[in-house]
Structures are given as C-alpha cells and as structure tokens.
Amino acid sequence: MCGICGLVNYRGISATDKTVVDRMSLALTHRGPDDNGLYDDEFAILAHRRLSIIDLSTNARQPMSSEDGSIWLTFNGEIYNFHPLRELLEQKGHIFRSNSDTEVILHLYEQVGESFVNFLNGMFAFALWDKRNNKLILARDRLGVKPLLYSMNENSIVFSSELKALLADTRIDREIDFEGLELFFTYNFIPAPWSIYKGIKKLEPAHYLVFDKTGYRINRYWDILPSLEQSDLTDDMEAASEQLRQLVKDATRIRMISDVPLGAFLSGGIDSAVVVANMAMLRSEPIRTFFIKYSDNPLFDESRYARAVAELYGTKHTEIELSPSEGLKSLDEVMSAIDEPFADSSAIPTWLVSKWTRRSVTVALSGDGGDEVFGGYRRYLGEVFVDYYMKLPHFFRKKLIEHVILRLPDSKNRQFLEYIRRLKIFLEGASRSQVDRHYYWLVYFPDSDRYELFKEEIRANFNGAGLRVIERLYENPIKDRINRMLYADIKNLLPFDMLTKVDLMSMSNSLEIRSPFLDYRISELAFRFCGSLKIRGLRLKHILKEAFRNYLPPALLNRPKQGFEVPVGEWLRSKKEFKRLFWEVVEGPNIDRQGLFKADKIRQMFQEHEKSRRDNSHKLWAIFVFQWWFQSEYGPS
C-alpha cells in the first residue's frame, strides 16, 4: 500500500515539472512513510511513496523497471494472486529479482500487453510507463478500492493517489465543477469521473486509461454483468452456501499474506465477524481485533456483539471509545485527510480506529463490501415490501397512513423516532418507479431541499446529475429487482463513499485495509444468486447468515442492521461546543460574500433540527464539511 504520482509531458520534462512532482510526492508522505523513489526521462516522471508490506527489502523499491529498463511502474495496492501469476510467468522464461507483487505486473505486461489487467486479483491503482512506445497506462482495480485521479491537456497528464497531491501543481485551475457540487449535495460524496474541480477527474473502477502522443482512450476491462451470462440465477441455498464459504475462505487466505503484523477491524456486525472467523481458522496464533464504541450513546453501541465474536475466537481485542470531545479533537486531522467535500460522518470513527490499530499492526482486514454485495441496507427491505404497500387502497395510503406519519417528528438518535424517520423515507419513495425510488432512498439531500439551499444563480447550473448517475446504472439486463439495486450500489455507493472513506482515513494513518468481500470473484458469485437468497422476509443478508450460521454467536445472526455512524444529530442538539464550532465554520467566510448558499435556509434547517421537528443531521453535516473544505488549503480560495 503506497502513494503514487507523476506526470507525462510530450513537450519534454521541464524543471517546473520536476519541482511539481517533488511537491506531489511530499504531499503523499502519509501513504508511504517507509521509503520514496523517483524515475524520470525525456517525457515522464514517476514518483512513489512506500508503505512496506510484502518483500521489505530494497529489491522491491519503486518505481520499478523491467529488466531492460524500457518499462517503469509506480504501484499502489496489493496483487493477491501474484504467487500463481509468478509461477506461470517463470514457466514462460521470465526472471524475477524480487519477491514483490509489483514485479509481477511488469512481467505480465511484457507477456500479454494491455490485457494484463484482466489477470490481476487485488486492490490497485498504478501508472505504467512504456518507454519504448512513449505510452502511459493508468489502471484501477475492479471494485474501486484504491483511488486514482488525473488532470490532462493535449500534451500532458498529471496523476496521483489523492487530489491534494494534484493541487501541488499550481497550473491546475481550481474552478469548481457545478456537476461535482450538485453531486456532493445529493449523495454526500462525488462519484467518478467527477471531482469538485473541473480540471481534475477520477478514473472509474475497472477502467484503464492509455495516454500517448496521439491522445487518450479509457477502456473498461471488467463488469459484474458478464458473469450473469455464464449461468442462470440460483435459489439453491445449500449449494450457494457451500460455494460462498469456500470462496470467502480463499479470499481471506490470500489477504493474510503479509511480511508485517496483521489484525482485523471487528465492528459488531456480521461482515467483520465472518472475516475474523475465517482468519481464526486459517491462523494458529490469536488475531488482534479492534473495535470502536460510543461512550455516550447506547443506540450506536455494538460492543457486546463484537466482544462475543472476540471471545468465541480468542482474539486479542481492543476497544476504543469515541466521546463527543474525542470526536471534536480529531476533526482537524479527519478534515485534513479529506481533500474534496466528503460528508460521511463515519469517517471520524474510521480515522480513530485506524489510528489505534496502526499502533499495533500495519495491515488490518475488514468486512467492507458485505452490505453492497449481499444486501445489508434497509432500503432493500423497502423494495421487497413496496409491492404489498402499493396494493393497499389509495385512500387508505394517502389520507390515513401518509397523512399521519409524514407529519410526525423524527430523529436518528431516539429509537422510536428513528423508526418514524425510516418509515417516512419509505412512504415518500414507495409510489415512484424503481430507479426513482432507489435514488430517493439513497440521497441525503432531496432535490427540493437542495433547490432551496442554493442561490438562484448557482442552482441554475445544476442539471440533475445525481439522478442521471442512478439511471445510467439501471441501464442493464438484470431482471431481479434486488440485484438491480445491489448492482447500482456496488458501482456508486461502495467505491465513492465506503471505500473512499476507508482509503482516506486508513492511509492518513499509514494503515493498509484489506477486505475479502471485495474480491471480485465473490461479487461474480453473489450475482448468480437470486435476490430472494439475499433478502428473505425481514432478514437482510440471508445467504451470508445461513452460510456462516455455525461460525458465529447466535445473537449476531438476527440482530437488526446498525450503521457505523457518528451521532451528529445529537451533538448538534445538545453539545454546545459542537454547535459553536458549526456556526464558526459555516458562517466563518461570510456566507453572503461566498455567494453559494441562502444563509436563512441553513438557519431554518438548524432550527428544525434543534427543536426535533425534522432530522436534518445529514444535511447540516454536509454543509459543515463543505464549508470547512472551502476554507482549507484544498479549497478554491
């Protein structure tokens, strides 16, 4: 796991280019504190910041070259199948000088050319410079675990693991992209290929970009959908469970290959518990597990479930407490890791658990991806029950149920009011088409609220980009309605929210995170299962729970879904220091002079939230994060 950056300039590398790459590399030190390397020639500069995981020797230093020096690579991530790939390449006559997974990529490119990405099972983002053909290849892993951003013009391209490093190149214009702005205030994140700036793009997962003197092209090399053509969907629980157990075990095994200490995140949910169970069966010595709990909010506390798994498998378990004061103290470091607006509040506990975990280990396995692959979110239940609801008489639905429920107060921080909040979201989306329903249930800032938040001259630039993202993802041959939702979330929510959060927060602490559920083979297998295997009755992730029923404490199997969130809503209502900080940040730059928002709308939303008339915690947090970013060194000013 590392940080990469560099540039190609077909007008010739200048002294300015070299200075820029030096600054970019320095901005990525947190991603690779163990070593740094640089390669340059007439047209290219590649830089690397190393976090040593496999082959700790100098033989694995990067950028790494082919034997004849004609191909150079700067690589971020891990290739989990590098051992069998190496054996195949050695049989073809390739000679290796290191034990690293990086060198396999170079030899694979020499052997098969651009199709080499199809052979890689791993999490990765890399830049390969083919000096003989003056060609740069940028590539990103199938599910988007590792990020890669770039900015280019006719003659040059600059790339990096993080946006903050690209901003070290002052030649990149910091003009806000209004589509990126609209997308952030739709989803609380900005999906690829957009960024917050017009001149910076994100490479999409499962794509590679080729840049040469004739221009550029971007190719998609993988999708879940082709696997659907290989076999019909199955509803055979026994056979599906056995296949899943074997594949999860193998995906866990290959992610435990490491030359440095290794542990696991243990959240109290089923996904991380399955990972820890498999790790314990594959390893003789105790696993180190790490859990974060909220000291002041039992509604968010999963500690007893995490302890049950830790006791069952004899792990060395560490609990980290997150109090409001601790959350506030960590905000500076969390926000400094966020270089474009990103408002998933669970970034705070993710940063904190990464910080504590890094004190003991360099690599940690996690359960990321389980919800999106197997159906772990409540909105999937909504899709199951919407047909039943819509069969009720129109008068009964509109004049009785919706008339009453939609007028009730709600809150994420009180159990009964949280049920009301969820029911409201269900009711407001139930009568829509599936794609519109999915969009409505997913967004944090509904269109009407977003419309009222911005000044007229700003919202005139909005064009419905958020809905178009979901509509495009629904343009596929999948007939199963649950699988259609899962496909859209794997392509949007998973890489651009969940995995972005984990990458930024873990790498800011120089910690590598690996998740077996992000093995592309598991995604392909899961999409051969009917939706009814994943959602059955009121039970989420049914197939996963049945497959690993005998591996887990009984209390874990039927417990309700609980998000990994910070109780921001409660902090905004009851914590004076947080309310004071909120207004210092939100109104700090003189919100009227900034020219984006209607200040009176923000105050109205805050009052509604403070008086518990409406839970606006997600919206207020998004505004807070955006304003913090706007005033930071990564903002436009």
Catalytic positions: 2
Taking CA atoms, 259 is separated from 2, 52, 54, 75, 508, in Å, by: 15, 8, 5, 18, 21
Q: How far is the C-alpha of 270 from the C-alpha of 541, rounded, in Å?
A: 9
* Cis, peptide link before residue 226, omega less than 30° from 0: no
What length does the chain have?
637
Scan for tokens 């004076």, then name that residue.
576
Query: What does DSSP assign to residue 399?
Result: I
Contact yes or no for 162/30 (Cβ under 8 A): no
Q: Kindly report the CA angle at 520 between 519 and 521, in degrees rounded to 5?
A: 90
Continuous segment of H or E residues that includes residue 468: helix 465-473
CB distance 20 to 158 below 8 Å: yes
265, β-bridge pairs: 290
CB 72 within 8 A of CB 44: yes
- The answer to whether the Cα torsion of 19, 24, 25, 27 is positive or negative is positive
Say if residues 55 and 79 touch (Cβ distance below 8 Å). Answer: no
- Packed helices 237-254 and 270-282: angle between N→C axes, nearest 10 degrees: 60
Which residues, 6 or more positions from 584, have their beta carbon under 8 angstroms from its beta carbon? none
The amino acid that residue 367 corresponds to is G
Token look-up 């004899």 returns 314
Tokens 């919800």 correspond to 371
SS (H, E, C) 231-247: CCCECCHHHHHHHHHHH
- Packing angle of the helix pair 499-507, 324-337 (nearest 10 deg): 90
Q: Residue 597 gets which letter from DSSP?
A: B
* 3-state secondary structure labels for all residues of 436-465: HHHHHHHCCCCHHHHHHHECHHHHCCCCCH
